[in-house]
């Protein structure tokens, strides 16, 4: 079994309090002897050298100061240098890609909100203003508009990867559930965001979408009234969709992404299904194990 | 167990015998809860009350529109002489106020016809909102039908469904005549037998058991 090289953490990243002290004798001095160079009078460092040293140490000291109070190094090194299974490949980046798409949406969304007016009479003209007058407005609006499709596509690909690699199985079921909620929230974002330009397309698409919601028996009609804030699509509908799109769902998505990633780090990722487990030396031979697992899932016929 | 509980209180061995020993441990005479438990429950209840004080008004604010019915609105769409029995005239009027053109809707208006079994002397206003998913239908003069561009719903002259995915006839608006003007009022839906019921959203069936599966909403007006 090939051993993984121990991750080398660059010294500059590690604050002095956590830095490993140098081994005695490692710097050319024989063990048990005083370093020879101490016998000579050490050259006194000039004032300029001292300043230079201080300047070099300053960022590390500052980092150390923060870290002594946060104690984040252990967490960060554990998270950033965690081991991943053999066979990890590009498909495993789809989750990060979705996260990146979300960050793009959040950033461009904040800047769009600086120019957008969520009012039924002014929404359309404020979007036209963003597209036609604001420098780079069309670009930022375009990033947000197309980015939403990118995010929906990526989240489905990520879900497909998880499904086809069997990565939803024990002990990761809860992360699958959180992921499904994130998928629903992403679709909610796509639906509520679609109305905001308030042009013909978004107006009629929202009417159709709300009416599809309304076809659910018993609760459907009330759900439609809730979404529209009334019996017809009106002035409050737009601000309601805006509030859901801007405040409610993004907060929930950020919180759930945190939980999702915590579980990824905590539980680790799975190997692809085509990578066979390597059994450590001295473990039970595979043949015996297979004979023991007598079809009912119990290993070695063990009684419960 | 009882001894342990007393030791926690830091009491000496000797006076314990004279004191009343709590039984069960932690409880004193006449008590049904420990003091610690009382305070735990009380502080949790206060916290719950405070949380409810914040959450309930906010949730109520968000769901209130479900129970709110707006003011009844009537709008004149033209003199009586504008409308005839054998064809529709297209009118545009405001259904929702405050959102400009987006609040306007289209209706097809005609005089009621005794040939179709309608009460004479009245006016019929058919909504152009498709009963499938709410797209705007158009009255095609040559065919005498309403046709929806989205998914091919077809309705006959009265607005009854004769083809495509719609689930019920086209909605109608209440009509009245004031000072020689035909006025249109609140929307209502009809069953397949053309009986008026409260307005339903597109895609929802009317009549029979569907009146219970798609219950009438408090935000709509009673049918005429």
Q: What is the pLDDT of residues A252-280, one digit of tens each?
A: 999 999 999 999 999 999 999 998 877 77
Query: Which residue of chain A comes nearest to B219, CA vs CA?
Result: A231
Closest CA–CA distance from residue A139 to any residue of chain B (Å): 28
Residue B169 corresponds to which tokens in the numbers above? 């006839």
Closest CA–CA distance from residue B32 to any residue of chain A (Å): 41
- Is there a contact between A212 and B133 if contact means CB atoms under 8 Å apart? yes
Closest CA–CA distance from residue A248 to any residue of chain B (Å): 12
Mean pLDDT for chain B overall? 87
The CA distance from B38 to B6, in Å, is: 20
Strands B181-190 and B75-79: antiparallel
Q: Who among B100, B135, B203 is closest to A214 (CB)?
A: B203
Least confident of A5-9, A56-60, B106-110: A5-9
State how far the alpha carbon of B185 is from the alpha carbons of B41, B73, B171, in Å: 56, 6, 12
Neighbours of B136 (CB within 10 A): 15
The residues, ordered by sequence, that sit 6+ positions from A226 with a Cβ below 8 Å of its Cβ are B62, B63, B65, B66
At B145-177, the pLDDT tens digits run 999 998 999 999 999 999 999 999 999 999 999
Mean pLDDT of A148-168: 96
Give chain B's end-to-end CA distance (angstroms, integer): 76
Of A281, A273, A288, A212, the closest CA to residue A86 belongs to: A273
Mean pLDDT of A15-43: 60
The pLDDT confidence band at residue B109, using thresholds 50, 70 and 90, is very high
Mean pLDDT of A172-199: 96
- Is there a contact between A211 and B203 if contact means CB atoms under 8 Å apart? yes
8 Å CB contact between B8 and B34 = no
- Is there a contact between A230 and B70 if contact means CB atoms under 8 Å apart? yes
8 Å CB contact between B62 and B87 = no
The CA distance from A252 to A254, in Å, is: 6
- Is there a contact between A214 and B215 if contact means CB atoms under 8 Å apart? no
The residues, ordered by sequence, that sit 6+ positions from B168 with a Cβ below 8 Å of its Cβ are B131, B161, B189, B190, B191, B192, B200, B204, B205, B206, B207
Of A182, A187, A161, the closest CA to residue A94 belongs to: A161
- Is there a contact between B98 and A120 if contact means CB atoms under 8 Å apart? yes
Domains, chain A, in order of start with CATH, read: 91-267 (1.20.810.10)
* Contact residues on chain A for B200, CB-CB shorter than 8 A: 221
Closest CA–CA distance from residue A190 to any residue of chain B (Å): 19
Q: Is the pLDDT of residue A294 over 60?
A: no
The pLDDT confidence band at residue A58, using thresholds 50, 70 and 90, is confident
Q: What is the DSSP letter of A245?
A: I
Domain ranges for chain B: 2-66, 75-213
Mean pLDDT for chain A overall? 85
Between B18 and A93, the higher pLDDT residue: A93
- Is there a contact between A235 and B95 if contact means CB atoms under 8 Å apart? no
Of B109, B72, B73, the closest CA to residue B92 belongs to: B109
Q: Is the pLDDT of residue B199 over 90?
A: yes
Of A203, A224, A221, A211, the closest CA to residue B131 belongs to: A211
In terms of phi and psi (left: phi > 0; alpha: psi -120 to 50; beta: otherwise), the region of A302 is: beta
Residue B52 corresponds to which tokens in the numbers above? 């409810």
CATH of domain B75-213: 2.102.10.10
Residue B222 at interface with chain A, using a CB cutoff of 8 Å: no
For residue A284, the model assigns a pLDDT of: 67
Q: Who among B96, B99, B202 is closest to A211 (CB)?
A: B202
Between A74 and B77, the higher pLDDT residue: B77
Closest CA–CA distance from residue B144 to any residue of chain A (Å): 26
Residue B204 at interface with chain A, using a CB cutoff of 8 Å: yes
* ipTM entry: 0.77
Residue A200 at interface with chain B, using a CB cutoff of 8 Å: no
- Is there a contact between A221 and B95 if contact means CB atoms under 8 Å apart? no
The pLDDT confidence band at residue A6, using thresholds 50, 70 and 90, is low
For residue A40, the model assigns a pLDDT of: 59
Residue A208 at interface with chain B, using a CB cutoff of 8 Å: yes
Q: Is the pLDDT of residue A160 over 80?
A: yes
At A210-253, the pLDDT tens digits run 999 999 999 999 999 999 988 888 778 999 999 999 999 999 99
The CA distance from B224 to B215, in Å, is: 18
pTM of the model: 0.76
Angle between helices A137-164 and A173-195 (to 10 degrees): 150
Mean pLDDT of B4-11: 50
Q: Count of A–B CB contacts within 8 Å?
A: 84
At B50-67, the pLDDT tens digits run 999 999 999 999 899 899
Q: Is the pLDDT of residue A152 over 90?
A: yes
Residue A125 at interface with chain B, using a CB cutoff of 8 Å: no
Of B141, B168, B137, B169, the closest CA to residue B84 belongs to: B141
Cα A88 versus chain centre, distance: 17
For residue A55, the model assigns a pLDDT of: 87
- Is there a contact between B214 and A218 if contact means CB atoms under 8 Å apart? yes
Q: What is the DSSP annotation of A22-78?
A: PPTTTTSPPTTS--GGGTSPPPPPPHHHHHHHHHHHHHHHHHHHHHHHH--HHHHHH
The CA distance from A190 to A145, in Å, is: 9
């Amino acid at each position: 079994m090939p051993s993984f090289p121990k991750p080398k953490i660059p010294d500059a990243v590690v604050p002095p309090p956590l830095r490993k002290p140098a081994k005695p004798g490692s710097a050319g001095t024989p063990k048990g002897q005083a370093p020879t160079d101490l016998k000579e009078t050490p050259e006194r460092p000039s004032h300029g050298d001292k300043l230079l040293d201080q300047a070099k140490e300053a960022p590390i000291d500052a980092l150390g100061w923060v870290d002594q109070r946060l104690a984040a190094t252990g967490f960060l090194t554990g998270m950033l240098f965690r081991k991943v299974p053999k066979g990890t490949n590009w498909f495993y980046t789809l989750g990060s890609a979705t996260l990146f798409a979300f960050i793009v949406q959040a950033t461009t969304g904040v800047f769009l909100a600086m120019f957008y007016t969520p009012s039924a009479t002014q929404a359309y003209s404020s979007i036209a203003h963003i597209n036609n007058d604001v420098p780079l407005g069309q670009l930022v609006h375009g990033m947000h508009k197309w980015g939403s499709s990118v995010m929906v596509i990526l989240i489905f690909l990520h879900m497909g990867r998880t499904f086809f690699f069997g990565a939803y199985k024990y002990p990761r079921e809860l992360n699958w559930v959180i992921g499904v909620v994130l998928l629903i929230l992403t679709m909610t974002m796509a639906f509520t965001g679609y109305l905001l330009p308030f042009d013909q397309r978004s107006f009629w698409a929202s009417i159709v979408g709300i009416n599809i919601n309304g076809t659910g028996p018993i609760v459907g009609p009330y759900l439609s009234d809730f979404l529209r804030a009334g019996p017809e699509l009106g002035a409050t509908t737009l601000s309601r969709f805006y509030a859901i799109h801007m405040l409610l769902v993004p907060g929930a998505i950020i919180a759930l992404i945190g939980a999702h990633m915590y579980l990824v780090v905590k539980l680790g990722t799975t190997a692809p299904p085509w990578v066979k487990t390597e059994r450590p030396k001295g473990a039970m031979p595979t043949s015996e194990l297979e004979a023991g697992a007598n079809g009912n899932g119990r290993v070695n016929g063990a009684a419960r | 167990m009882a001894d342990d509980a007393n030791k926690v209180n830091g009491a000496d061995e000797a006076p314990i015998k004279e004191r009343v020993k709590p039984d069960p441990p932690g409880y004193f005479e006449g008590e049904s809860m420990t003091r610690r438990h009382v305070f735990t429950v009380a502080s949790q209840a206060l916290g719950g009350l405070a949380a409810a004080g914040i959450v309930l008004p906010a949730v109520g604010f968000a769901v209130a529109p479900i129970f709110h019915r707006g003011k009844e609105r009537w709008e004149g769409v033209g003199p009586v002489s504008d409308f005839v029995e054998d064809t529709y005239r297209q009118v545009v009027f405001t259904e929702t106020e405050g959102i400009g053109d987006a609040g306007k809707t289209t209706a097809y208006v005609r005089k009621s016809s005794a040939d179709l079994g309608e009460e004479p002397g009245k006016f019929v206003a058919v909504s152009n909102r498709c009963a499938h998913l709410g797209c705007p239908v158009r009255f095609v003069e040559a065919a005498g039908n309403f046709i929806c561009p989205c998914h091919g719903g077809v309705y006959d002259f009265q607005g009854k469904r004769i083809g495509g995915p719609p689930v019920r006839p086209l909605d109608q608006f209440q009509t009245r005549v004031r000072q020689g003007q035909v006025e249109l009022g609140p929307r209502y839906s009809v069953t397949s037998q053309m009986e008026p019921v409260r307005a339903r959203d597109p895609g929802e069936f009317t009549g029979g058991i569907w009146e219970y599966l798609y219950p009438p909403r408090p935000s709509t007006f009673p049918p005429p």
